[in-house]
Chains A and B, each alone.
Chain A
Amino acid sequence: EAGVAQSPRYKIIEKRQSVAFWCNPISGHATLYWYQQILGQGPKLLIQFQNNGVVDDSQLPKDRFSAERLKGVDSTLKIQPAKLEDSAVYLCASSNRQGIYEQYFGPGTRLTVT
């Protein structure tokens, strides 16, 4: 089966600019996750969708970050405006359901904010 797709793979922007990331999960997976992974740290959950509804966005900086999941399939994560501390790898993952089910990760988007 095709894996989780993400684009772009790399992005360099200046602070205060905006950026968007796209994720296409594995077909049929109801749960979609966006993680932020700062160098030297583990992935930190930003937002979790169940179909097209938000399950958890408690760690999403909502003043600058937004995310949506179109028709319960693809998802986009946007940052506007970006700050230097947003430099990180943004990972998208999907799973059949929540809980005991394995998460399948995409390759990530490496964002550098200068």
Chain B
Amino acid sequence: AQSVSQHNHHVILSEAASLELGCNYSYGGTVNLFWYVQYPGQHLQLLLKYFSGDPLVKGIKGFEAEFIKSKFSFNLRKPSVQWSDTAEYFCAVNYLNTGGFKTIFGAGTRLFVKA
């Protein structure tokens, strides 16, 4: 079965620190990649996505992610985090399976930013 691994379940940072959240997946074919975020008390929402072209993609609120095909990775980065970035972050991989596209989510990383 295909899988998505997020390396850190909990991350605590101080404001202005840099952030990198790891995401690795197992599917060897063509993939579409997503990072979703869930702020406290809110719905899951899209942060950014990659499906083709420039492997460095930029999303909302200063986040970016880099797709490295050879490493099966799609790590999320932000150069300087803010208290408002406190949330849970999910990596998701979408690939073409028999019958249609299938989406698998990682277990999530809880980020807490200290003011």
Contact = CB atoms under 8 A, between A and B. Distances in A.
A102 B97 contact: no
Nearest to B102: A56
A100 to B, nearest CB: 4
Contact of B45 (A43, A99, A105, A108): A105
Given A55-B100, A98-B100, A99-B96, A44 B46 contact: no
Contacts of B101: 55, 98-99
A40 B96 CA distance: 27
B13 interface: no
Interface in B85-115: 90, 92, 94, 96-97, 99-108
Contacts of A25: none
A61 B12 CA distance: 37
Contacts of A102: 34, 46, 49
A41 B49 CA distance: 21
Interface of A: 3-4, 33, 35, 40-45, 48, 50, 55-56, 91, 93, 98-100, 102-108
Interface of B: 4, 6, 9, 32, 34, 36, 43-46, 49, 51, 90, 92, 94, 96-97, 99-108
